[in-house]
Amino acid sequence: MAPLTVLFDLDGTLVDSEVGILEGFRRATRAIGLGPDEAAIRQWIGPPLEKSLLEVGVARSDIPAAVAAYRQFYGAEGLYQATVYDGIEGTLDALRSAGVTLAVATAKLVDFAEAVVAHFGLDRYFAVVRGAGLDGLVDKAHIVANALADLGSPPAQRTVLVGDRRYDMAAAAANGIRGVGVTWGYGSAQELHDAGAAVVVDKPSSLLAELLGS
């Protein structure tokens, strides 16, 4: 049975935002005199900003200054240094034509998420865009729960969360909905399977077939 509602993660699922995010992290860490390994930074694309900074070695006392540097750059430049993944718009068109309600649920700051979605013309697809608040401490499960509430609490058995990282799959499980992993983003198939993904797909056309059962 096809889902009635599909929630999408943003970074690594709808858009490839690595360039802007990594430069934002560089600005953030330089602002407090830290230069973490590039591979370590990339590994933490996905979770809330503060959590990512802590994981790459930023001291908790330095978080406010690092976050401010990140947001100054990202809001002015970084969010525009992204591209929509090939096949995503066709997938969204087909889902919408099939009567599926679409939403975005991301750990990105909600103002940035709304700006990215609008900048790339994706806002026409989504009934709801939910993200983190200014404190940056809202976890993905909470963000997904808020998005579901905004959507009128659709039936869990016909609701899916699509994402590229383990945090997405954990958030789906926490909300009692099906998690579908995608491998064109920043997480591996192994990571997604280990996190409980119901299925993992490697291209948007396969995602569409999985969601619509065709």
Phi-psi region of 159 (alpha: psi -120 to 50; beta: other; left: phi over 0): beta
How far apart are the C-alpha atoms of 45 and 11, rounded to whole Å? 8
Q: How many residues does the chain have?
A: 214
* Three-state secondary structure call for residue 132: strand
Interacting residues of 47 by C-beta distance below 8 A, sequence separation 6+ = 55, 107, 140, 165, 167
- At how many degrees (to 10) do helices 140-150 and 166-174 cross? 50
Strand partners, 155: none
Phi-psi region of 162 (alpha: psi -120 to 50; beta: other; left: phi over 0): beta
Strand partners, 117: none
The amino acid at residue 121 is: G
Please confirm, yes or no, whether 9 is among the known catalytic residues.
yes
- Which single residue is written with the structure tokens 């994706």? 122
Structure tokens at 69: 């540097």
**Which residues are designated catalytic?**
9
